[in-house]
Amino acid sequence: MFKNSIGSNGVCGIDIGGTKILIAKISKTGILKRSIMLPMSDGNYRKVLEKIIAEIKKFGNISAVGISIAGDVDGKKGILRYSPNLPKWRNVKLKQYFEKKLNVPTVVDNDANCAVYGSYIIDGKRKYKNFITVTLGTGVGGGIIIDGKLYRGSTGSAGEIGHITVNPGGPKCSCGNRGCLESYIGTKGIIKTATGLGLKNITPAIIASKSMKGNRQAIRVYEKFSEYLAVGIGSLINIFNPDMITFSGGVSNNWDLIEKRFFDELQKRAFKTPLEHVKIIKSKNPENLGAIGAALLSKTFK
Ligand SMILES: [Zn+2]
């Protein structure tokens, strides 16, 4: 069906985010060989896709394309149904478009699924067969691998770890529910906690730097963050009994501030046997997991 056979020249991984797009050439083993970052433009998505195609063509021969994008994705058909970060992108037939323009097989999956697949191979070296990656950023997402296979759920909706209810009467979440994990540890939740403790004009990164300088309120923000994170992860451990859990996303860069309180709290939340077994780490390559995972996923579709 396609001119190039899989595996000949490396694959292309694309991570389409709300503000920027990473386009990368990835080796068969998941090593990033070349990459370019484009800003996301506000206008018509067709123009954005044309630019992406032009950049990929500069990479020379590639044998497949994998696309990671935040939102509701029909993975089988390769259609982005809806993305909260990209309101103008509705029912975009990404797979069809890329296959027509580049004549190589293309897969499309949501960012959390791509991240967990990338982490499964890069961080876990395919050795940890039951595997979860939690993305910590504006939103809190999750991808799940069971017995070495990506678990998408019956309607492709699995892994919404950020929307575990941790407080039935808690604040309203972007999903409409109350007291979701994300409403406490997503970027907005972190800032809300900080504001409640009297900190002003802040971002998670500023809170982290204040925390490292010994600011009591800032330290408390990440303590609270770590406690809520442990509540969510404790449930995941009890339900899935995974071999490995990794963290990615911008907020995971503050892992040093999170780690201690998180593990202390986790002792109280998770069952002893699965907790002793599971390996929990921050991903070694959190920035590029989406693109790498998407590229590697493309090789699973023959
Ligand atoms: Zn929610």
CB 278 within 8 A of CB 247: no
CB-count burial class (<10 Å; 0-12, 13-18, 19+) for 95: buried
**Together in a domain, 277 and 161:** yes
Q: With respect to residue 6, please indicate whether it lies within any of the assigned structural domains.
A: no
Which CA distances in Å does 59 have to 55, 68, 105, 106, 229? 7, 18, 16, 16, 40
**Together in a domain, 258 and 272:** yes
CB 142 within 8 A of CB 161: yes
Rounded Cα gap, residues 291 and 89, in angstroms: 19
Query: Cα of 82 to ligand 1 centre, how many Å?
Result: 17
Domain of residue 24 covers 11-114+288-298
Query: Cα of 182 to ligand 1 centre, how many Å?
Result: 6
**Together in a domain, 245 and 157:** yes
Query: Cα of 112 to ligand 1 centre, how many Å?
Result: 16
Query: Cα of 31 to ligand 1 centre, how many Å?
Result: 34
Q: pLDDT (tens digit, 0 to 9) for every residue of the chain, 302 residues total?
A: 565 444 457 899 999 988 899 999 998 888 899 999 999 987 789 999 999 999 999 999 899 999 999 888 988 899 999 887 788 999 999 999 999 999 999 999 999 999 999 999 999 999 999 999 999 988 899 999 999 999 989 888 899 999 999 999 999 998 899 999 999 999 999 999 999 999 999 999 999 999 999 999 999 999 999 999 999 999 999 999 999 999 998 899 999 999 999 999 999 999 999 999 999 999 998 889 999 999 999 876 54
Rounded Cα gap, residues 20 and 41, in angstroms: 8
**Together in a domain, 55 and 145:** no
Q: With respect to residue 105, please indicate whether it lies within any of the assigned structural domains.
A: yes
Query: Cα of 172 to ligand 1 centre, how many Å?
Result: 8
**Together in a domain, 148 and 168:** yes
**Together in a domain, 64 and 195:** no
Query: Cα of 174 to ligand 1 centre, how many Å?
Result: 6
Query: Cα of 173 to ligand 1 centre, how many Å?
Result: 5
pTM of the complete model beyond 0.85: yes
Q: What is the CATH number of the domain that holds 102?
A: 3.30.420.40
**Together in a domain, 133 and 76:** no
